[in-house]
Amino acid sequence: MSGHATNLRVKLPLLCTLLQLATVLLFAFFVQYDSQTSPRLWHEEVQLHSKKPLDHDFYPRYPSFQDVHVMVFLGFGFLMTFLKRYSFGGVAFNFLIAAFALQWSILIQGFFHTFHDGKIHVGIESMINADFCAGSVLISFGALLGKTSPVQLLLMAVLEVTFFGINEYILLSLLQVKDAGGSMTIHTFGAYFGLMVSRVLFRPHLDKSRQREGSTYHSDLFAMIGMLFLWVFWPSFNSAVTAHGDDQQRTVMNTYFSLASSTLSTFAISALVNRGGQLDMVHIQNAALAGGVIVGTSAEMALTPFGALIAGCVAGLVATLGFKFLTPILAAKLKIQDTCGIHNLHGLPGMLGALLGALVAALATPDAYGEGMADIFPLVASGQRSSTQQSLFQLLGLLVSLGMAMVGGILVGAILRMQSLAMPPDALCFEDQIYWEVPEEHHDGFQVVEALSTEEADKATQA
Amino acid sequence: MSGHATNLRVKLPLLCTLLQLATVLLFAFFVQYDSQTSPRLWHEEVQLHSKKPLDHDFYPRYPSFQDVHVMVFLGFGFLMTFLKRYSFGGVAFNFLIAAFALQWSILIQGFFHTFHDGKIHVGIESMINADFCAGSVLISFGALLGKTSPVQLLLMAVLEVTFFGINEYILLSLLQVKDAGGSMTIHTFGAYFGLMVSRVLFRPHLDKSRQREGSTYHSDLFAMIGMLFLWVFWPSFNSAVTAHGDDQQRTVMNTYFSLASSTLSTFAISALVNRGGQLDMVHIQNAALAGGVIVGTSAEMALTPFGALIAGCVAGLVATLGFKFLTPILAAKLKIQDTCGIHNLHGLPGMLGALLGALVAALATPDAYGEGMADIFPLVASGQRSSTQQSLFQLLGLLVSLGMAMVGGILVGAILRMQSLAMPPDALCFEDQIYWEVPEEHHDGFQVVEALSTEEADKATQA
Amino acid sequence: MSGHATNLRVKLPLLCTLLQLATVLLFAFFVQYDSQTSPRLWHEEVQLHSKKPLDHDFYPRYPSFQDVHVMVFLGFGFLMTFLKRYSFGGVAFNFLIAAFALQWSILIQGFFHTFHDGKIHVGIESMINADFCAGSVLISFGALLGKTSPVQLLLMAVLEVTFFGINEYILLSLLQVKDAGGSMTIHTFGAYFGLMVSRVLFRPHLDKSRQREGSTYHSDLFAMIGMLFLWVFWPSFNSAVTAHGDDQQRTVMNTYFSLASSTLSTFAISALVNRGGQLDMVHIQNAALAGGVIVGTSAEMALTPFGALIAGCVAGLVATLGFKFLTPILAAKLKIQDTCGIHNLHGLPGMLGALLGALVAALATPDAYGEGMADIFPLVASGQRSSTQQSLFQLLGLLVSLGMAMVGGILVGAILRMQSLAMPPDALCFEDQIYWEVPEEHHDGFQVVEALSTEEADKATQA
């Protein structure tokens, strides 16, 4: 297949080398250990403030970081193995773009948040935030799964990470919006960015690959590995960068409750919407996670256990109905082909999460928060904003995120349409063989080459 | 299949809605953040006692909680995927009932342990204990795997969680028994409860589904994922709620040693009892875990590394022999059909663990424990009990657990025999297709419908 | 098959019993809780130094331990499931030898490092180090995968753990070499030990089993589970026993960066070296991990983020090229059959890691390290060595490791060649059926027995 347009032999090494070289150079000039990572600086700090080694911020943050790291690489990765003939691409392109996105994000986020004295200072929180940003890119990847080449995906990652960094800076630093678990900055942004890219890359003849756009019994089980790691570690995701003490504890607990109730409503709706009363693995794999997304903004606030349960119920309900009724409409009417249904898992619950965050912020009273107000709503605690004003800023944050995601997605989609980015033809979507050496058992290489040739003949005819 | 008795379309949504609604209402009235989770209360505590944010109990508990959470959802879940045509049901019904059981357990356990001023106060330990209780229900599920509908399982969960809460209260609060890793409260209770339910639901014609009651090469590998996560995180399970410092450390180490030696004895016995000298995956997947169960009571005590090794050896030996010789007898003579062999993994090693705990308690001397006695045996430390008395109370705890489990199990079994709980017919046990949309490759829908009709015809004839 | 030489029925139980009995006895005489694990001693320490329970070393160490534990049992275990008919053996023999190796290593390492007053004192660090040692044995196992019996592997484990302990003692205690992540003590040692054993056990007729020496689509996905857990938790591996505070933080960060860049270079080179431009799962599963190995020595030092990225790039490059070009040469010219390609993942990157460590040590200045020098290079900080001298000792450490590994490997290989260790014949390598009850679907037992008989007939003829 060496002559085909989907051949990665030159394009992928070239792009990887360029990107990695640029990253290495920028790291060489700009990135250095922060004061908790440098041996000299930390020991100076220890002596100056008579600290003990275990007062290091590494200890309360690292377990959460590791959970998030598992979610990004194992969780998202295996969630995307559900397609019967695209499991290699699902887990491994997830791996590739996450491994690049986190490096690039260290630069972009570092430039916006920890740049001083001409240097980006990196520590444990930089790593968590870089993983968060990678997660957002992976959400977008979900809409494009099986329809894009790794070359396109890496290109998307460079640009999306950059847009993500700008958007996050506007929300968190300029608008002073709270969004610890990223309902707006990660989920809403990643989802609508990806959906817009998919819209621009719309394939009218995708039905040529319809026979591959399904799962097998065991590919669904592989996807459950990813799903369950996301579900189990989501409390760590939402709490990884909140303030220490009660904030982390509360965020964890709210997320725990919300996920539990979204699981029940997902099972309930899944059985209800199927004529035969049978459950659908697609719903379980995705909608049961919506409980984590919907409390992304509000989990660190005083949502109450009761509020978390209600939120989760709604999330599971909306997401499952979305898979059943909305995804087909998106594809048919709006020309948005959303392979993993990210609109249901991240888009809608992300927006609902932003709205819920605005609601809970509006209800914040000094009586409920006490001295803890300063950790969650510092501007309200210091009297610079009322609760209502904070709430309005939260809503503004949602609008900005949506706008940035859509503009960014359309722009990036247009770039990804360029020739020579190794995009698969319509008849060979959801097919590992064009990018992977696949073990013999699955091999029908001849047909693939055949299909590629036919496709190109078609194109020649059309041109 | 919409007309069949196993159709979930009405029953499952109805039960889920009822249970979730009840939970939401009870949470609304009774559940609130404890003093470490509420922003106001925690900050008052910090100021009053000049604490630092990292003095929060979240930090020593959360990593263990996450490990236990992985065990409950991934560990138990994937362990139950070993059946060739019931892997969806194994992992996903595990997910459903655990997600409900933990919510219900927050209420039940909260009512018994953290109820004051008319409210249940929830914090990080509530979450760990709720997961423990869910684990106990999942053990019972193991005996019923493939033979019960999700409607039955949810109903069982409501009732079993309630019985669990009462039993745990009697043991830990009234009898002041020590059982940090739950040899009695979790394993013995869950096992004999499930075995009794299975006894009441005995199916004389289960051989009609015999051809599905096996594994495939890859379903055995999926089960190994679950098994190994249980094995690796078991030290966290046993130590998650012990006292801080030396207690958590010692519990972890004893469990680590016990599991290592139970692995060796499992491999040894597995090869020995097979005529061809071949190893059996069923033994490896289950018996090698018995080392964690057998030290559930004693791991926090001064068991010594040597004692832990011995305990583990015995556990692996007993469990493997149980699979080979006892499981067939249980089914044939006692009419107890135990799909996963929970009697071998949780029942026998749980009882042995209770006895071992009583033994180690009896041997407790001030010389060995020093000031640490107060953390492990507070009543012995304060002179209210002698070591021997503590030991006798431990034995009494085992008897109570056994009794409660059996009575509860029989009662619940009787309830689950009700018509209209969507129970699968004998000829369609261990079969995902009756409850799940199964990808085509595995689809022989016609036969299933056929079988259902035949089954009902049979019933009609019998009636 | 009971009469065949590969029958485990007597041999495996016998060896397991002997080894476990010896371990139990040695534990009974020599192993006791250290002062942080004993209830009496820790509480005395708490009172003497007015410590708080959370000052216990368990808290900063345990999360890393659990990550390492996952790597050893899940990570290595599933990485070895890639063979189409040896996945049971891959994951389960990994489990067996790790469960034994950690017990034996508690004795050997304990004897060298925490032996006083006639007792080995064990605590949380003993457990981490025992897991590390088990990891080294599992690396060696990688070269032998599918070609050795569990009897041989257990025997290798006893001896390799012993050699490992001696080698580690020479490096860390006598030469005062730094090697927190084990580039030398774990990776280089494990790799060249295993390669030498494989050399001695060279099979000229291994091509008789060539048809089984490949993967299937799903066995490659199982291997990706193991791979990704190794990748995600490697920062914990390298930092698990470094000094607290900045050291753990820095080690984690350097490893994180190195792995990210080794992933990009692996994908780039994998596409480049394939004529069709297709990616190769073998490379992704292995070479992308080399970034963790290459910083095993230097990650705790002031490697800088930039240095970590460069190191990772080189590691991915070297490892991928190794798989493509070196592995075939090793087999053909040097008669070293390396099933998993451990030379590429652990051998070469381990040696490069040792050299990189020596380089970074040579560049250590008081200006860069400040008071932190004492944690990393205590002899340099105290003036007993110059940086250059430390660097030379690091190089000496590499040579000692290589020498010990090779001598040990040859010796052990010679022992493993003994008759009656149940070694599989050339025509039945990479085949689970000789040691496992395999579910029917995969069963062609007749052929296996046939093959065994033919093999033995062949042998009889040759003899």
pLDDT in tens, A250-270: 999 999 999 999 999 999 999
Compute the average pLDDT of residues B266-290: 97
All residues of chain C having their beta carbon less than 8 Å from the beta carbon of residue A138 are none
Cβ atoms of residues B231 and B451 within 8 Å: no
Q: Is C259 in Cβ contact with A42 (below 8 Å)?
A: no
Chain C residues within 8 A of A435 when measuring between CB atoms: 278-279
Is the pLDDT confidence value at B38 over 80?
yes
Distance of residue A53 Cα from the nearest chain C Cα, in angstroms: 5
The pLDDT mean for chain B works out to 94
Q: Do A44 and C249 touch (CB under 8 A)?
A: no
Instruction: Give the pLDDT band (50/70/90) at residue B443.
Output: very low
Picking from C195, C103, C163, the residue whose alpha carbon sits closest to that of residue C401 is C163
Instruction: Give all chains having 3 or more CB-to-CB distances under 8 Å with chain B.
Output: A, C
**A56 CA: distance to closest CA in chain C (Å):** 6
3-state secondary structure B178-213: CCCCCHHHHHHHHHHHHHHHHHHCCCCCHHHHHHHC
pLDDT bin (cut points 50, 70, 90) of residue A384 is very high
Contact B220 C88 (CB under 8 A): yes
Partners of A371 on chain B (C-beta within 8 Å) are 39-40, 43-44, 46-47
Say if residues B338 and B198 touch (Cβ distance below 8 Å): yes
- Reported as a single tens digit per residue, the pLDDT across A44-99 is 999 999 888 788 999 999 999 999 999 999 999 999 999 999 999 999 999 999 99
Among the partner-chain residues B13, B66, B442, the one whose CB lies closest to the CB of A236 is B66
Q: Among positive and negative, which fits the CA dihedral B126, B132, B135, B136? A: negative
Of C236, C263, C280, the CB nearest to A437: C280
- A59 contact residues in C (CB cutoff 8 A): 59-60
pLDDT at A291 (0 to 100): 98
The complex's ipTM works out to: 0.95
Q: What is the pLDDT of residue A167?
A: 98
Q: What is the pLDDT of residue C54?
A: 85
pLDDT digits (tens, 9 = 90+) for B43-66: 999 999 988 878 899 999 999 999
Distance CA(A143)–CA(A327), nearest Å, equals: 11
Q: How far is B394 from chain A (nearest CA, A)?
A: 33
The rounded distance, in Å, linking the Cα atoms of A121 and A141 is 29
Are the C-beta atoms of residues C106 and C126 closer than 8 Å to each other?
A: yes
* Chain A residues in contact with C316 (beta carbon < 8 A): none
Residue-wise pLDDT tens digits, A94-122? 999 999 999 999 999 999 999 999 999 99
**Which runs of consecutive H residues, i.e. helices, occur in C273-386?**
281-286, 290-294, 305-321, 327-333, 342, 348-362, 366-369, 373-376, 378-381
- Over 80: is that where the pLDDT of A453 sits? no
Q: Do B33 and A253 touch (CB under 8 A)?
A: yes
Is pLDDT above 50 for A7?
Answer: yes
Predicted pLDDT at A445: 44
pLDDT score of C346: 98
Which of B249, B271, B372 lies at the smallest CB-CB distance from C13?
B271
**Partner residue facing B44 (CB), from A55, A260, A370:** A370
CA distance C343 to chain A (A): 22
In this prediction, residue C452 carries a pLDDT of 58
> Which among B84, B245, B263 is the nearest to C96, CB-wise?
B263
Nearest-CA distance A362 → chain C (Å) = 38
What's the pLDDT at B441?
65
H-helix or E-strand spanning residue A147: none
Chain C closest-CA separation from residue B251 CA (Å):
9
Q: At what angle do helices C189-200 and C124-144 cross, to 10 degrees?
A: 40
User: Could you tell me which of C97, C192, C85 has the C-alpha nearest to residue C445?
Assistant: C85
C274 → closest Cβ in A106, A127, A437: A437
On chain A, the residues whose CB falls within 8 A of the CB of B53 are: 243-245
- Please tell me the distance from the alpha carbon of residue B263 to that of residue C33, in angstroms, as a whole number: 22
Ramachandran region of residue C431, left (φ > 0), alpha (ψ -120 to 50) or beta? beta
**Cβ proximity of B50 and A55 under 8 Å:** no
Amino acid at A276: G
- Min Cα–Cα distance to chain B from C345, Å: 24
Residue type at A71 in one-letter notation = M
Per-residue buried b or exposed e for A326-362, using 16+ beta carbons within 10 Å of the residue's own CB: bbeebeeeeebbbbbbbbbbbbbbbbbbbbbbbbbbb
Q: Do B232 and C69 touch (CB under 8 A)?
A: yes
With beta carbons less than 8 A apart as the criterion, state whether A65 and C272 touch.
no
pTM: 0.96
pLDDT at C139: 98
Does the distance separating the beta carbons of A16 and C265 come in below 8 Å? Answer: yes
Min CA distance, C112 vs chain B (Å)? 18
pLDDT, one tens digit for every residue, chain C (463 residues): 345 789 999 999 999 999 999 999 999 999 999 999 999 999 999 999 988 878 899 999 999 999 999 999 999 999 999 999 999 999 999 999 999 999 999 999 999 999 999 999 999 999 999 999 999 999 999 999 999 999 999 999 999 999 999 999 999 999 999 999 999 999 999 999 999 999 999 999 999 999 999 999 999 999 999 999 999 999 999 999 999 999 999 999 999 999 999 999 999 999 999 989 999 999 999 999 999 999 999 999 999 999 999 999 999 999 999 999 999 999 999 999 999 999 999 999 999 999 999 999 999 999 999 999 999 999 999 999 999 999 999 999 999 999 999 999 999 999 999 988 999 999 999 999 999 999 976 444 445 555 555 555 455 444 3
Residue labelled with tokens 């009462």:
B166
Residue B456 has pLDDT above 90, yes or no: no
A10 contacts in chain C (CB < 8 Å): 277
B222 pLDDT higher than 90: yes
Distance CA C112, CA C241 (A): 17
> Which amino acid makes up residue A412?
V
Query: What residues in B contact C157, CB-CB < 8 Å?
Result: none
CA distance C59 to chain B (A): 6
Q: Which of C219, C276, C306 is closest, CB to CB, to A27?
A: C306
**Residues of chain B with pLDDT > 90: what percent?**
92
Chain C interface mutation, best of A2, A29, A30, A38, highest count of C Cβ atoms under 10 Å: A38
Which of B82, B217, B233 is the best mutation test for C, with the most CBs of C within 10 A?
Answer: B217
pLDDT tens-digit profile of B74-99? 999 999 999 999 999 999 999 999 99
Q: Among partner residues A13, A77, A439, which is closest to C216 by beta-carbon distance?
A: A439
**CB within 8 Å: A9 and C248:** no
Mutate to test the interface with A, among C278, C282, C371, C376 (most CBs of A within 10 A): C278
Indicate yes or no: CB of C33 within 8 angstroms of CB of B310: no
Q: Which tokens sit at C99? A: 């469960």
Which candidate from A28, A38, A66 shows the least CB-CB separation from C67? Answer: A66
Burial category of C416 from C-beta neighbours within 10 Å (exposed 0-12, middle 13-18, buried 19 and up): buried
User: What mean pLDDT comes out for the span B434-453?
Assistant: 66
Interchain proximity A271–B2, CB inside 8 Å: no
